[in-house]
Structure 1
Amino acid sequence: MPEISIIVPVYNVEKYLDKCVQSILNQTFKDFELILVDDGSPDNSGVMCDQYAEQDARVSVIHQENGGLSAARNAGIEKAKGRYLGFVDSDDYIAEDMYELLYTNLKREDADLATVGFLDIYAGKEPVIKEKKYIVTDMIGAAKITFEGKLSTISATNKLYKKEIFDYVRYPVGMITEDAAVILDVLEQTKKVVIDTSQKYCYYHRENSISSNHFTRKDLDMIKAWEDNEARVLEKYPDLVCIAHTRVCWAYFTVLDKMMNSPLTTEDQKTQKEIIKFLCKNFTFVLKNQYFTKSRKLAMIALRIHPYFYKLLSRLENRMIRKINK
């Protein structure tokens, strides 16, 4: 039985898959199984998965009809034999010592969950190296840090979990913000969490990822996930109320930004008005909030004056992002 099961959902990533898989197979920590979940890939990704399994006994493959990221992760969880679980997205890659570091930290602290930091990778640019921090905390502390999103994030991928955490936790199929939807479910299964910000998970920003800034109705999943989290926080975790509501407002801003740069149907326009109404009700909360940047507070003021001015700022920011990512 392997110590760690590493689950990689695979869909239409033949350009990136080999770098991802090789970074896992070359880990300094050797006692693992790699579960590649071919989620109905239309390209050669599924064939590549089978080839990896033929070449390395640690690799196994699940082929299934396309069900999305959550369905693929869930299939991997069901098959996993390891005492610990990890997830890697198939268009990213990891440092060779990532799982050794996660495992060492988790065992040293007798923790339930360990995390590392992200290294943001942009084509043609040097990655930004950040200061390292090491924190051991409880569930509430981990939730606060994770909701803040600076030293740790809601992402499933840069972590090592005791498998028991997923005895009753599964990712919601069909929901695009699956990590936000389950983060409290995951953290509630922990007593101790180790947060190490060493940048070991290499998150690759695709050149065409800016297209994801166009609004679809599925983007409303983000608002629902964070409102659901806030409802649970209000019921059970008073210390997290402010940061939970901050994430709700952040979700509303994120969706509104997409709307401002997208063609909208009549239904979308009605939803947009509701989002603007919500944010304007939270005008004072946003302006006094330590977590929102000066530019975001300026945008809030512009929105309060008239949505047109907010739209101008949003489009300007969108053009700047496009320029930076070129």
Structure 2
Amino acid sequence: MAVPEISIIVPVYNVEKYLDKCVNSILNQTFQDFELILVDDGSPDNCGEMCDDYAARDKRVTVIHQVNGGLSAARNAGIEIAKGRYLGFVDSDDYIAEDMYELLYNNLKNEDADLATVGFLDVYAGKEPVIKERKYLVTDMVGAAKITFEGKLSTISATNKLYKREIFEHVRYPVGMITEDAAVILDVLEETSKVVIDTSQKYVYYHRENSISSNHFTMKDLDMIKAWENNEARVLAKYPELVNVAHTRVCWAYFTVLDKMMNSSELGVEEKKKQKEIIRFLRKNFMFVLKNQYFTKPRKLSMIALRVNPYFYKLLSRLENGMVRKINK
């Protein structure tokens, strides 16, 4: 088999209900010169058998079966065997527009860029998706970092992008860390000199209702704070023009974790100790948040409530549950 232009890597775990739609949206791409690597990450349902069936029916499909190691381990396994000149990632419970990779590939090639991105189409059950105005721009590494940290025209997500393979010569996703995209975003961008940002909504992100696990706090959620504080430390050392937006993301991480804590039914001793530390940090950043263009009015109101009494913040947080999660896709 000739070397494919693109390798598309899909980690698969416990998604048999959604896998067909995901895989078919990839196999039916208008851009056809690709290999699809399905990484069965020890899935306990029928996903492993489904992956083998796809491979039997389409020679572009390769399957890896491995012991469960999490999203990062699955992506890394795909990277290791990928043959393509370019790499892409899709999450197995999402799906993509039929021309997503054609658009990404053409943008990347036309601009002689290292990385190309498209926008998300956010889908909620029973609601019409919001169609946004298309924007297109080409920027350098620092410009791409600023836009990505802002989280509006582009996000930290691995999945709505096409990468030159060379980017991943030295970059791997951190195994065991739940905010892997935030942890590697600077590593990825530092391997680029030119980035194409096209906000055409080609990656379909389905927001599932009643996702209890995504709302319940665990100590692993602190990974988000760690990742963004690490990014901020690197920015302070190398990219002074990004200091404000990097610290904004640190504050977002603290808010996101605190919201999860406030919406969890019971916190243990260690969790309560961490909660006090988080509240202390946010109170110290009171004026930074209030003067910051990136924070919404409801978020600034919740900041005032937190300064008055955490109980009032908790009430607002429960009313506005989910307000800050979207930016962390």
Question: TM-score normalised to the size of structure 1?
Answer: 0.97
Aligned-residue RMSD, C-alpha: 1.1
Question: Which residue is 2:231 aligned to?
Answer: 229
Question: Which residue is 2:34 aligned to?
Answer: 32
In the aligned structure 2, how far is the partner of 1:82 from the partner of 1:33?
7
Question: Which residue is 1:324 aligned to?
Answer: none
**2:300 pairs with 1:303:** no
Does the residue aligned with 1:169 lie in a helix, a strand or coil? coil
The alpha carbon displacement at 1:51 in A equals 0.1
AA at the equivalent of 2:88: G
Does the residue aligned with 1:207 lie in a helix, a strand or coil? coil
Question: Which residue is 1:173 aligned to?
Answer: 175
Unaligned regions of 5+ residues in structure 2, if any?
A: 325-329
Q: 1:198 to 1:185 in 2, by over 3 A?
A: same
Question: Which residue is 1:270 aligned to?
Answer: 273
Does the residue aligned with 2:17 lie in a helix, a strand or coil? coil
**Percent of aligned positions with the same letter in both sequences?**
86
**2:150 pairs with 1:148:** yes
Does the residue aligned with 1:318 lie in a helix, a strand or coil? coil
| Cα deviations by residue, 1:158-197 (Å, 9 ceiling, x for unpaired) | 0000000000000000000000000000000000000000
Q: 1:104 to 1:319 in 2, by over 3 A?
A: closer
Task: Give runs of aligned pairs for residues 49-198 of structure 1, distance below 5 A.
Answer: 49-198=51-200
Question: Which residue is 2:283 aligned to?
Answer: 280
In the aligned structure 1, how far is the partner of 2:291 from the partner of 2:181?
28
| Cα deviations by residue, 1:207-251 (Å, 9 ceiling, x for unpaired) | 232541110000000000000000000000000000000000000
Does the residue aligned with 2:321 lie in a helix, a strand or coil? helix
In the aligned structure 2, how far is the partner of 1:297 from the partner of 1:204?
28
AA at the equivalent of 2:62: S
The alpha carbon displacement at 1:45 in A equals 0.4
In the aligned structure 2, how far is the partner of 1:26 from the partner of 1:153?
25
Off by >6 Å, runs of 4+ in structure 1 = none
AA at the equivalent of 2:267: L
Question: Which residue is 2:327 aligned to?
Answer: none
Count of residue pairs brought into register by the alignment: 321
In the aligned structure 2, how far is the partner of 1:69 from the partner of 1:319?
23
AA at the equivalent of 1:310: Y
Does the residue aligned with 2:128 lie in a helix, a strand or coil? coil
Q: 1:308 to 1:115 in 2, by over 3 A?
A: same
